[in-house]
Amino acid sequence: MLPVRPKFRNPPLIERAVSVSFAELSQFSLGDFGLFWSEVRSEFPDCEAQPLVRSEVETFDRFQPQQPEIRLLLSDALPRAFYRNPARGELIQIQRDRFSFNWIKTGPDHNYPHSEAVLERFLAMFDQFAKFIADRGLGEIAPVQCELTNVNVIPVSDVGESFPDVATVVRMPQLSDDQPSIKLESQIVGAKHIMLDDAGQPIGRVHSMGQPSIKVDTDELAFRLDIVARGAPLGDGIPGVMQFLECAVTAVNAVFLASVTAAGRQFWGELDG
């Protein structure tokens, strides 16, 4: 798979999340959240509890209609823990069956460090978590699904005066060009792509969703484009996880380039592609 690694002087990317799901560590207890925090607290001084997230698993069987699902959480179900490094815009998330590392843009001068640096940081933190689990005798981490997410936010004021002006930088279906009695107010766009290996076989999916949003720090109208690549590790252990994530970076970048216009690429200052 040929890498797709465009670079921009000022990309709309505000967050990248790298996650791996694994078989549940049944022996992991509430106290282990605190013990792991003691190991990373010098780098991640803030800690908080959050609700559990469900790990989605991509399959490539024949299409089966989704059925409504009721999931019950036991009263003693363990939460998800957040460990934050606000100065660097970094976040670790752990729960019994999932580990995530997020890079989050903290301000206009906080530049994205590019995919190689983020994956390297994820690997270092995941290695530390895996070592903690092994040292505590809590079981073996057996990865079953990997996920890479890019969150892009485009303030409307950057590209025009109203929401339809977002179409100058993001590809959107034209819904009201020849209808004088209506005016487009907002629009949601989405797509699903299959990730293919060099032999043309499916190895994962990329889900993209774009919709109106509010930019939290300025309370202004914006367009948010989330792109998520998800699939099983391409091999055993951490090497298989990293091999999939390298492919996921290419797939997410390819979907981003397919989702934006030439004017958008120029606006964000594309350096190569």
Contact (Cβ atoms closer than 8 angstroms) between residue 195 and residue 202: yes
Give a yes or no: residue 119 inside a domain: yes
pLDDT for 177 equals: 61
Confidence class for position 68, pLDDT limits 50, 70, 90: very low
Give a yes or no: residue 1 inside a domain: no
Give a yes or no: residue 65 inside a domain: no
Tell me which of 241 and 68 has the higher pLDDT: 241
Give a yes or no: residue 66 inside a domain: no
- Residue range 76-115, pLDDT digits in tens: 568 899 999 999 999 999 999 999 999 999 988 898 888 9
Contact (Cβ atoms closer than 8 angstroms) between residue 12 and residue 154: yes
Give a yes or no: residue 2 inside a domain: no
- Residue range 214-265, pLDDT digits in tens: 876 778 899 999 999 999 999 999 999 999 999 999 999 999 999 999 999 9
- Name the domain count of the chain: 1
Beta strands 270-272 and 98-104: pairing type?
unpaired
Say if pTM beats, i.e. exceeds, 0.85. yes
What distance in Å separates the CA atoms of residue 121 and residue 17, rounded to the nearest whole number? 11
Give a yes or no: residue 71 inside a domain: no
pLDDT for 230 equals: 97
Give a yes or no: residue 164 inside a domain: yes
What distance in Å separates the CA atoms of residue 28 and residue 181, rounded to the nearest whole number? 60
> Which residues form the domain of 219?
10-57+77-272
Give a yes or no: residue 139 inside a domain: yes
